Amino acid sequence: MEPLTSLPAWQALESHAAQVKPLHLRDLFAADPGRADRFSLEAEGLFLDYSKNRITEETLPLMLQLAEESELRGKIDAMFRGDRINITENRSVLHTALRAPRDRKIVVDGMDVVPPVHQVLDRMSEFANRVRSGEWLGFTGKKIRNVVNIGIGGSDLGPVMAFEALRHYSQRDLNIRFVSNVDGTDFAEATHDLQADETLFIVSSKTFTTLETMTNAKSARAWVLAQLGDERAVASHFVAVSTNAEKVTAFGIDTANMFGFWDWVGGRYSMDSAIGLSSMIAIGPDNFRALLAGFHAMDEHFRTAPFAENLPVLMALLTVWYNNFFGAQSIAVLPYDQYLKRFPAYLQQLTMESNGKYITMAGERVSWETSPIYWGEPGTNGQHSFYQLIHQGTKLILCDFIGFVNSLNPHGPHHDILTANLFAQAEALAFGKTADEVRADNNPEWLVPHKVFEGNRPSNMLLADRLTPEILGKLIALYEHNVFVQGIIWQVDSFDQWGVELGKVLAVRIQPELTTDAELKHDSSTNALIRRYRQRRNL
Ligand code: F6P
């Protein structure tokens, strides 16, 4: 593969960007009444208005050419086919198989992976129904009222995001909680008001070796045993979700209480595998399957739609446009729906663990920017926090607004107010307020520069009718594939995560040094910090 910057489309885009940068969205809209219609797209119940982007008629054809020159089509097919596109881990990347219908056939290494996917889903459904109906009993014969998922990264962020997003559909007499941080506070606060005999722990870990999760799982076992006083209680109060049956058994969980998945599911792409067990218990198997159907519908759209009408492809190309040709460093994800409050946090792992890399698939240092920083908060809270910087700061930030036409909680004027704010923010960012408009409000001249909004701040607007399990699946798959396309353009392996390893290794080395007098052989800063901790830890 040619380096990205040598591709003809890249070079054409560089000169095109120089022409577009001086243009203002105010003028682009004024000159073209059809802009909003032309630069919008509806697919699978998601409407994307991308007209408030700093693009012209020439931009997308050039970006699409970049996608072609990056061999995107062949790479999409390779992913769906189960080729080992995660080259540094020599693995297939088949999260799309997790939501494939029963009658699909996806053969990897001579084996159709779809039947085992559905076997696990069926077992999960049966188990979830038993917990939801009160049939699954704790060790003392009480019904389960609390479900605590223990996991971190992809074994936490997807499930907690989906639970919060679909809380409206959840069984309200079940308490669903999540423990991820190795900080004992997380476990203590999640369990302080729970009784062990009514609590089920789901230990979720692809590898079943992750230090944080194993530490929390051991604390959970000790907590259960301290209250119930019998090793046999573990069988009623713990289930495991993992690819590692050996480690699950070694922990003391019977593999009969284990829900498996496969090495071709990356951690951050695993929420619709058995890692979603907590979500399924919360919302029920039917809603969980609707969520998967949503994922699948977006998979099909991504796989088959022409690139010019392909939501994930368009969103990815717009990301590349600002990231690589405008020097933009971050993307704000701004859901105008309280249920999506954890969506930005979930996207942080999906996007930045996938594409936060400086080495290409060919092992070369990139000479271009890769993943932007993703961040965000639900609207309108963000408006009273960081929007000042987006409107009048010195940084260019692409905003992904997400909204729903209908609220799941229609109380009086709330939803109209929320939606008015959503549309107003995108309008204000794009068009701003000129000095003449500020003067027309009778402002003194010295105040005018402070009250001017330059505008020309780009945004995407994603709208759906209502937040349903199916729409949530589509939205997540949209971002999954958006991230995939970005990674293809930037030529990185979007499915490994070597950058998390070094810190883990050093922590394992430092931990015993904190509580012994062992000689310290770190740098002077780290040595001094350890010494200070040793001296003061029991004060
Ligand atoms: O943060 C690194 C990582 O490997 C993630 O990719 C993964 O989601 C997380 O740790 C948790 O891993 P596991 O599910 O194996 O406990």
Q: Digits of tens for pLDDT over the chain (539 positions)?
A: 899 999 999 999 999 999 999 999 999 999 999 999 999 999 999 999 999 999 999 999 999 999 999 999 999 999 999 999 999 999 999 999 999 999 999 999 899 999 999 999 999 999 999 999 999 999 999 999 999 999 999 999 999 999 999 999 999 999 999 999 999 999 999 999 999 999 999 999 999 999 999 999 999 999 999 999 999 999 999 999 999 999 999 999 999 999 999 999 999 999 999 999 999 999 999 999 999 999 999 999 999 999 999 999 999 999 999 999 999 999 999 999 999 999 999 999 999 999 999 999 999 999 999 999 999 999 999 999 999 999 999 999 999 999 999 999 999 999 999 999 999 999 999 999 999 999 999 999 999 999 999 999 999 999 999 999 999 999 999 999 999 999 999 999 999 999 999 999 999 999 999 999 999 999 999 999 999 999 999 88
Distances (CA, A) of 77 to 82, 84, 303, 304, 433: 9, 12, 7, 10, 46
Tokens 């014969």 sit on residue: 141
Q: Which of 265, 497, 504 to mutate to test the pocket of ligand 1 (most atoms within 8 A of CB)?
A: 497
Strands (E), 180-329: 199-204, 238-242, 258-260
Residue 112 carries which side chain, given as an amino acid letter?
D
The closest of 196, 201, 78, 106 to 150, measured between CA atoms, is: 201
Residues identified as active-site: 353, 384, 504
Sign of the dihedral defined by the CA atoms of residues 514, 519, 521, 527, in that order: positive
Atom of ligand 1 nearest to the CA of 155: 14
- Centre of ligand 1 from the C-alpha of residue 154, in Å: 6
- Centre of ligand 1 from the C-alpha of residue 246, in Å: 18
Atom of ligand 1 nearest to the CA of 151: 16
3-state secondary structure of 305: coil
Cα gap 371→497, rounded to integer Å: 13
Q: Which residues line ligand 1 (CB under 6 A)?
A: 152-155, 205-207, 210, 213, 267-268, 353, 497, 500
- Ligand 1, atom 6, lies closest to the CA of 267
Residue 26 carries which side chain, given as an amino acid letter?
R
The closest of 516, 156, 196, 525 to 345, measured between CA atoms, is: 156
Q: Is 376 left (phi over 0), alpha (psi -120 to 50) or beta?
A: left
- Ligand 1, atom 10, lies closest to the CA of 153
CB count within 10 Å of CB 16 equals: 20
Q: Which of 152, 214, 242, 270 to mutate to test the pocket of ligand 1 (most atoms within 8 A of CB)?
A: 152
Has this prediction a pTM greater than 0.95?
Answer: yes
Angle at 16 between CA 43 and CA 458, to 5 degrees: 50
Q: 96 CB contacts (<8 Å, ≥6 apart)?
A: 79, 80, 295, 296, 299
Q: 392 CB contacts (<8 Å, ≥6 apart)?
A: 453, 454
- Centre of ligand 1 from the C-alpha of residue 207, in Å: 8
